[in-house]
């Protein structure tokens, strides 16, 4: 197929501002290229793709980033900034749709979803988050009623947030596992990775580390500086080691040396990329049983689970996770989350739409 992949308007690919959808985009493009499809990626100016996507065509658009839905209240209306990047992306996508078998949208935004029944070339959406606002809940429900097969989700927990006309199409997620090295000799440290923002619950990870007397290494884009300062003040000096936002190659090298990863989402995380990235390096995960991570962590196989927000239970789960066999974590990821398996699932979904 000739596939046009339209990226998030929240930031350039490779900047870290797009969050998990950046990693999903590059893995998906590389996986579809491997399967012989011709892929064009339409993204924000400044976007870069990894070498695995070199065969893709990259179209860039300028314009003002879309405000992230994660920072708006549930009743907020849809907002388009002046000179919106989102508008430019979709003007270009619609202008060129005839050259493609299918258009795949990765943006969690109202406009592309609203367009679904009105395009000549089938428009498919990989929904990248759970419910974060009424406006998006509404347009997802509307598209599900009009074109149910045009929506796909990462996990069942995520899809359950929405009012869908049919059982959801689930495609999981995928990772280029050749980029992750298995580490069998960890340091006595805990890890935490994700955007540094309240919905990620870093404060709970900090508390667990302090209780176990282990340092907590933290990787991620510092989105909310005040929040980071509050978390640092909540534990003894020296508990937290801030490592910043690292590209995958460096991140996986440092992540792999952790004895366990703590995952503490306060929202319905659609998937939880860092959970799988850690397991790919042999790192067991102690997580709240919430959202995607609640589906990905299998007690005793690749980590341990605690009831959401129960910090005492998370301390106990971390003890259990520390005893999990590290090779088993890698084996689980190879079976469920490889780039090849993910691309095959997406190909099946898109081919059905492309007819």
Using CB under 6 A as the binding criterion, the count of chain residues that bind ligand HBI stands at: 16
Please, which residue, 61 or 235, has the CB nearer to ligand HBI?
61
**For residue 231, how far is the Cα from the chain centroid?**
23
d(CA 16, CA 4): 22
- Taking CB under 6 A as the criterion, the residue among 14, 16, 20, 215 binding ligand HBI is 20
For residue 245 the two structure tokens come to 């936002």
- Taking CB under 6 A as the criterion, the residue among 14, 16, 19, 198 binding ligand HBI is 19
d(CA 231, CA 233): 5
We find the least distance from the C-beta atom of residue 19 to ligand HBI, in angstroms, to be 2
We find the least distance from the C-beta atom of residue 66 to ligand HBI, in angstroms, to be 4
For residue 160 the two structure tokens come to 């359950």
d(CA 141, CA 137): 6
Nearest residue to 177 (alpha-carbon basis) of 38, 22, 13, 331:
331
Contact set for ligand HBI, span 65-104 (CB under 6 A): 66, 68-70
Please, which residue, 69 or 175, has the CB nearer to ligand HBI?
69
**What would the DSSP string read from start to end of 219-250?**
ES----HHHHHHHHHTS-TTSEEEEE---HHH
- Taking CB under 6 A as the criterion, the residue among 6, 21, 197, 333 binding ligand HBI is 21
- Taking CB under 6 A as the criterion, the residue among 4, 6, 8, 239 binding ligand HBI is 8
Please, which residue, 16 or 282, has the CB nearer to ligand HBI?
16
Contact flag: residue 105 with ligand HBI (CB under 6 A): no
E runs forming strands in the chain: 2-6, 38-44, 57-61, 102-105, 123-127, 151-153, 169-170, 190-193, 216-219, 240-244, 260-263, 285-288, 303-306
We find the least distance from the C-beta atom of residue 100 to ligand HBI, in angstroms, to be 20
Please, which residue, 288 or 304, has the CB nearer to ligand HBI?
288
Please, which residue, 187 or 227, has the CB nearer to ligand HBI?
227
Is the separation of the CB atoms in 143 and 152 below 8 Å? no
Please, which residue, 129 or 314, has the CB nearer to ligand HBI?
129
Q: What angle do CA 29, 124, 68 make, to 5 degrees?
A: 80
d(CA 186, CA 182): 10
Region from 5-13, 199-207, 213-221, 295-303 binding ligand HBI, contact rule CB under 6 A: 5-13
Q: Is the dihedral of CA 89, 64, 220, 318 positive or negative?
A: negative
Region from 14-22, 93-101, 140-148, 177-185 binding ligand HBI, contact rule CB under 6 A: 14-22
Contact set for ligand HBI, span 106-135 (CB under 6 A): 107-109, 128-129
Please, which residue, 80 or 141, has the CB nearer to ligand HBI?
80
We find the least distance from the C-beta atom of residue 24 to ligand HBI, in angstroms, to be 8
**What would the DSSP string read from start to end of 134-170?**
HHHHHHHHHHHHH-GGGEEES-HHHHTTS--SSPPEE
Residues at the contact surface with ligand HBI, assessed by CB under 6 A:
8-10, 18-21, 66, 68-70, 107-109, 128-129
């Amino acid at each position: 197929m000739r596939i046009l992949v339209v990226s998030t308007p929240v930031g350039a690919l490779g900047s870290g501002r797009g969050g998990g959808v950046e990693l999903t985009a590059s893995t998906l493009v590389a996986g579809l290229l491997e399967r012989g499809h011709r892929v064009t990626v339409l993204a924000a100016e400044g976007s870069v793709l990894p070498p695995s996507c070199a065969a893709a065509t990259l179209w860039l658009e300028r314009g003002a980033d879309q405000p992230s839905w994660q920072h708006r209240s549930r009743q907020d209306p849809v907002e388009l900034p002046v000179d919106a990047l989102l508008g430019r992306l979709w003007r270009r996508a619609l202008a060129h749709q005839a050259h493609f078998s299918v258009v795949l949208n990765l943006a969690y935004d109202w406009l592309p979803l609203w367009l679904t029944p009105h395009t000549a070339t089938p428009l498919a959406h990989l929904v990248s988050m759970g419910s974060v606002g009424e406006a998006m809940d509404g347009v997802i429900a509307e598209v599900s009623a009009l074109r149910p097969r045009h929506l796909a989700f990462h996990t069942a927990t995520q899809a359950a947030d929405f009012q869908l006309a049919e059982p959801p199409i689930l495609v999981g997620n995928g990772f280029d596992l050749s980029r992750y090295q298995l580490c069998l000799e960890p340091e006595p440290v805990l890890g935490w990775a994700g955007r540094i923002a309240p919905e990620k619950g870093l404060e709970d990870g900090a508390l667990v580390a302090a209780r176990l007397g282990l340092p907590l290494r933290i990787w991620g884009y510092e989105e909310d500086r005040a929040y980071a300062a509050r978390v640092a003040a909540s534990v003894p000096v020296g508990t937290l080691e801030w490592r910043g936002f690292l590209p995958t190659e460096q991140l996986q090298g440092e992540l792999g040396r952790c004895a366990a990863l703590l995952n503490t989402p306060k929202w319905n995380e659609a998937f939880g990329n860092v959970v799988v990235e850690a397991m790919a390096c042999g790192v067991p995960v102690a997580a709240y049983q919430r959202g995607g991570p609640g589906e990905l962590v299998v007690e005793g196989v690749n980590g341990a689970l605690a009831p959401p927000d129960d910090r005492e239970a998370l301390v106990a789960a971390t003890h259990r996770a520390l005893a999990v066999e590290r090779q088993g974590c890698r084996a689980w990821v190879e079976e469920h989350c490889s780039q090849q398996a993910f691309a095959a699932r997406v190909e099946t979904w898109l081919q059905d739409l492309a007819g």
